[in-house]
Structure 1
Amino acid sequence: MQELIQQLQEKAGLTAEQAAQSIDVIKEYVKGKLPPFIAGTVDNWFAGMSDKAEGKKAGLMDQASDFLDNVKDKAEDWAEEAKDKVSDFFNKDKKGA
């Protein structure tokens, strides 16, 4: 996340504090636009950006790609779950008729 803060300072002329606050605002905005079951992924992605314990510095595009892959996987799981529930609903309806 430090890399993103530095870019905001250089490109937008923000102080370190303003850049960090901007990232928080963006994070909350994105979370508010996603379904609740995916919103937690945003926290994980941002936490991963600042997690220095990994020892590797993935580029921002790599991190964004990982984030989007995770969102896609969660969306597919949700869609499969929804399909199963709808199928169960109609199968129960057929059995009752």
Structure 2
Amino acid sequence: MQELIQQLQEKAGLTAEQAAQSIDVIKEYVKGKLPPFIAGTVDNWFAGVAGKTEAKGEGFMDKAGDFLDDVKDTAEDWADAAKNKVTDFFNKEKDHQ
């Protein structure tokens, strides 16, 4: 997380406090855009990113991209499963008529 704070300070001219507040705003924004069952993991993810990025040498944006790709894949899987269930339901209804 410190890496992101530092980048916000350098690239956007923010103070450390402003950068930290910006991250909190981004975190809350992301949580608001996700379904409740996924939004709860955002705090944990943001908290865990700092240690993981430093240990692996990966940047925050790389980890953020990976996280969002995982969320997108999961959402697509759920949407496909829901579509299949609805289709099966209506096909069974037609068969009973």
Is 1:90 equivalent to 2:90 in the alignment?
yes
Identity level (%)? 79
**Aligned-residue CA RMSD (Å):** 2.5
* Cα distance change on mapping 1:2 and 1:53 into 2, 3 Å: closer
1:53 & 1:34 partners in 2: Cα distance? 23
What corresponds to 2:33 in structure 1?
Answer: 33
| Farther off after superposition, 46-55 or 86-95 | 46-55
Q: Aligned to 1:6, what secondary structure does the other structure show?
A: helix
* Cα distance change on mapping 1:54 and 1:20 into 2, 3 Å: closer
Normalising by structure 2, what TM-score?
Answer: 0.75
1:38 & 1:57 partners in 2: Cα distance? 26
Comparing both structures, which one devotes a greater share of its residues to helix? 2
1:23 & 1:53 partners in 2: Cα distance? 16
Number of aligned residues: 97
What corresponds to 1:18 in structure 2?
Answer: 18
Task: Write out the 4+ residue segments of structure 1 that deviate beyond 6 Å after TM superposition.
Answer: none
